[in-house]
Amino acid sequence: MGRPATRPAKKSGAALLYERQRREATAALAAQAAQHTAREVATAPTPEPGTYRIAELRDGQCRFACTSHGAARDAHRFCGEPVAWKGGRPTSWCRDHLLEVSGAPGRHADGASLADVLRPEGRP
């Protein structure tokens, strides 16, 4: 058959004390780290839009290239503003650059919808 189910042994008072102290110490360290990070974020200088290198961009920042395509490799800079949302999803560009890239949200520059522009000839 099998072994009868056994329950784990009760922990001693010292073990329970150790676990409680460990949880409290971990919580205190997490609180200190959060305060330190908040202080760094509050005092960190924010770069101007258009001055970000690609490696400096994080999720949710506009990836519109603000320098010419012929710029030197280390001279390329990107917008970095918060991205716009379209259709319930984040885009790769901020509101202003989304308009520049697509003409208007969901519209081609001459007014047709993007779906109509991309539809092959002769298809309804």
Look up residue 107 and give its DSSP letter: B
CA distance 65 to 94: 12
CA distance 105 to 103: 7
Half-sphere exposure of 118 (CA within 13 A, CB side): 7
Summarised one tens digit per residue, pLDDT across range 44-95 is 556 677 788 888 898 889 999 888 888 888 888 999 999 888 888 888 888 8
Q: What is the reported pTM?
A: 0.46
Q: Is the dihedral of CA 6, 12, 17, 19 positive or negative?
A: negative
Q: How confident is the model at residue 111 (pLDDT cuts 50, 70, 90)?
A: low
Mean of the per-residue pLDDT values of the chain:
76
Confirm if 112 and 121 have CB atoms less than 8 A apart.
no
Summarised one tens digit per residue, pLDDT across range 33-43 is 777 666 665 65
Q: Is it the case that residue 109 has pLDDT exceeding 60?
A: no
Q: Is it the case that residue 117 has pLDDT exceeding 50?
A: no
Domain residue ranges in the chain: 14-44, 54-118
CA distance 114 to 102: 9
